[in-house]
Structure 1
């Protein structure tokens, strides 16, 4: 018998490279940490960090859920399921996932328009979209959101969050359901001011005061949890007449519900699709921004596309258990880093600790006053506003100030998705304007000889009017094509040969390519010539794709070599060899 002959066909190195690249892009950081060697000391550090984050996330998760129109149990479910999956599959070592204050406006609007079933379906669809964005490797483009846009919508969300907490902060009794839009909300709240409950207001102010005092005196202590615990003890022991989680929601369950798919209905899918897209857009921005913050604190680098896939899986998982949208949370992620976390295990343990609270201490949550959670959210809203960045952008330039204010005001008075889209579009237009003004063309004078006089050949050419040399600097694209093209059209008629030095042009687009092709063709019809110098291989390939190629134009490496060729007066040289 003969042994089977193994195939000697070599493996495709490109396929192997692509497979390795795919693995590198989407390998969870948990796998990377384990491959580096995960020791018991690392686990202890992650356990301490996870407990610290859980203490911060516990009151926040319930407060954000209540402010969104969901139940406190849904907030905990979102933090437990979503937080665990984000850390398990994520591309950041320190990212903490869960419900975020930035989503309060969108979640509340979705519940009001489509009910709780619509919210869960929108969360599921958002998860699919986030995973698709990650697998399509579009995470890099999410980072193109201008900084003034993120500062503007974050500040706008903070204003809306604070406005949404005015009723529980002061124990107001509204004569009608509280409207969602700020313009409609404020008159209703103003009309209800005579119904202020002094006890509720005092308890909420006490919670705010405790958080502020703890942050100032003991910044490493969990101020949010301390405020909630102390005010809950006071309210329970004194029998204060204030609304609590128990009176408003009947408490929270002592475990996770059984997973189930959301109800799928084509009409409902179409109806909630805008909400799902908004969840996806904001979730991608928030999660990658949080990962960047963690990178800045640790010196590490996250995998953006892997992170988006994890966010998608987390949103799908959260919706299966009745939770709502999950994203990376900057405050909890920063707390995780400061607490000494080593890797994603801390985020997974934070979810386990929250589940333990839900299973063991659920009855105690019934005594938490809603005013205490409203006070916590008021502090969170204040912290969300990047006050120094806001003031700096207002002073920086008219363009940054315009993008900031437009995004901020649209977030407050219109819609968050609209604010992001309009802010991004305005920022792009301002950038195009700035780039177009940074691109210019100027006549290039031949270098002088050591004795101070111009070189004889170059002097002959320019004095006889045979050649004119212009250098273009900056990106040659549609924003600058009109002004540069108008200038070159005028100067091209002043000499038989136009030499364009593009050594300072990093890129061109089709509009600029067609502009130069038009000038070259016009010049050739009149018996003249256009010579292009200083282009790299990639830039020449772009020119060729747009029809800018010999014999319409001639290419040369430098202005000097172009002038030498022109002095040789070789009429048969169309520049094809120089373009090689």
Structure 2
């Protein structure tokens, strides 16, 4: 890594990175506690994890300015493991998750992001915005009017302050002002301290107390594999979104390795597995954070706040943090995508909406993205299959018929190829020109075999010519018609 890269990643935006990191640290605390509760573990497990992952990913991650910590998506996967086997097995699963993620980075699994379409990314973003908003609803139901007043005041500060000055991130001002106001007025509203006890000591190294045998591996491997997939999927999708927000590029394979290193270390200090967080990353970016210093600040300040300033942090009203997360939700949602539903192709809209619906209904980002990717593949295959055309004309007084095949022949267009020929052929010779076609898979080769063999059974002499090198290799390996007498396949 060059000195210029280090300067750019760490010291090109020091003031804004420090302030943005402070905002993120404050917003991370209640979320880490909430995710610990979801997983069924002590709040310190999520808080230590958020500190460890954020701190380490600042050094090893592939995306400056992106925030990683304990997340809800990962916590949901852990619930049954903790319930059935306890915390130590969760820590072992966290370490194995990290090892699998490092391996994924080494085999360059990050390249798979090329197969995720823009419609899927947009659907992922919109679904996440909706889930972030829905997560705030429990804090806004069956509460006194004070909660609504504090939340409204927080939103007023967040959106109003930037009109006067951008010297300090408005979410930070909102949290500080509303905490002071709540303490001064003695408001009886829910605070961070009501969510769980904050740890009063620094994390220490520990070895998970589990038997080192195949039975332990059998128990934790399914969970670790799922955590690896969910964690990398959410991290790589978040990296793509932050790339767009900051108009910069990230190293997806390095991100995989970085997430793995962070999770391995986290498991050894008593933390749960985590990954990138779209909500906190958006808070960081909108607060001015751009470099690795913002991520490091978020992790370090989080630990300092909960361990040394826990008494003050516990008094932060949840309504103030709800206001920040509502801002994140509004800012995350791609409102332009709603207008684009009319302007863009219908297939793009279907992919985007399906990704949103599945993600929101299942609360599973992996299922939502997988649905979108599969639909994108189906629509793409359908679109490409329409590009196949077969034309024909007779020559030599009707004794020879020439077919010209143009386009892509693969599993989705092979039936069209087969049904484009006249098998009641009267011409004695049939020439099939495929110089403007490409055969992609064994289904395509099988279709060509069926065409040639059926024409031969009708009494015609068949010649296939014009195969490009790749298609000829495919036909040579898997085709059968060119191995029978009376059929000839030639290249250009």
TM bucket (normalised to shorter chain) is 0.7 to 0.9
RMSD of equivalent CA atoms = 3.6
Is 1:311 the counterpart of 2:259 in the alignment? yes
Is 1:223 the counterpart of 2:170 in the alignment? yes
Q: Distance in 1 between matches of 2:100 and 2:367?
A: 19
Is 1:429 the counterpart of 2:397 in the alignment? no
Q: TM-score, normalised by structure 2?
A: 0.82
1:179-578 mapped onto 2 (5 Å cutoff) = 196-215=143-162, 217-218=164-165, 221-253=168-200, 256-264=202-210, 276-296=224-244, 301-330=249-278, 335=284, 339=288, 344=292, 347-348=295-296, 351-358=299-306, 360-393=308-341, 396-416=344-364, 417-443=366-392, 462-488=395-421, 490=422, 493-524=425-456, 526-533=459-466, 535-547=467-479, 549=482, 552-557=487-492
Larger C-alpha radius of gyration, 1 or 2?
1
Cα distance, 1:121–1:46 mapped onto 2, change above 3 Å: farther
- 1:33 aligns with 2
Q: Describe the superposition over 1:452-506 as per-residue Cα deviations: whole angstroms up to 9, x where unpaired.
A: xxxxxxxxx7151233333323321011101111213x26825333333333334
Cα distance, 1:429–1:340 mapped onto 2, change above 3 Å: closer
The 3-state SS of whatever aligns with 1:241 is coil
Q: CA deviation at 1:338?
A: 8.8
- 1:563 aligns with none
Cα distance, 1:514–1:373 mapped onto 2, change above 3 Å: same
Q: Distance in 1 between matches of 2:378 and 2:60?
A: 37
Q: Distance in 1 between matches of 2:224 and 2:125?
A: 19
| C-alpha contact 2:21 2:294 (8 A) present in aligned 1 | no
Q: Choose which of 141, 147, 167 in structure 1 pairs with 2:138.
A: 167
Aligned length: 477
| C-alpha contact 1:63 1:374 (8 A) present in aligned 2 | no
Cα distance, 1:304–1:111 mapped onto 2, change above 3 Å: same
Q: Distance in 1 between matches of 2:210 and 2:125?
A: 32
Question: Which ranges in structure 2 are unaligned for 5 or more consecutive residues?
Answer: none
Q: TM-score, normalised by structure 1?
A: 0.71
Q: Distance in 1 between matches of 2:261 and 2:333?
A: 29
Q: Distance in 1 between matches of 2:238 and 2:90?
A: 24
- 2:98 aligns with 127
Q: Distance in 2 between matches of 1:83 and 1:206?
A: 30
The 3-state SS of whatever aligns with 1:107 is helix
| C-alpha contact 1:214 1:221 (8 A) present in aligned 2 | no
Cα distance, 1:245–1:232 mapped onto 2, change above 3 Å: same
- 1:114 aligns with 82
Q: Distance in 1 between matches of 2:208 and 2:129?
A: 30
The 3-state SS of whatever aligns with 2:431 is strand
The 3-state SS of whatever aligns with 1:498 is strand
Q: Choose which of 53, 60, 72 in structure 2 pairs with 1:104.
A: 72
Cα distance, 1:298–1:398 mapped onto 2, change above 3 Å: closer
Question: Which ranges in structure 1 are unaligned for 5 or more consecutive residues?
Answer: 1-31, 173-195, 446-460, 558-580
- 1:65 aligns with 32
Q: CA deviation at 1:529?
A: 1.9
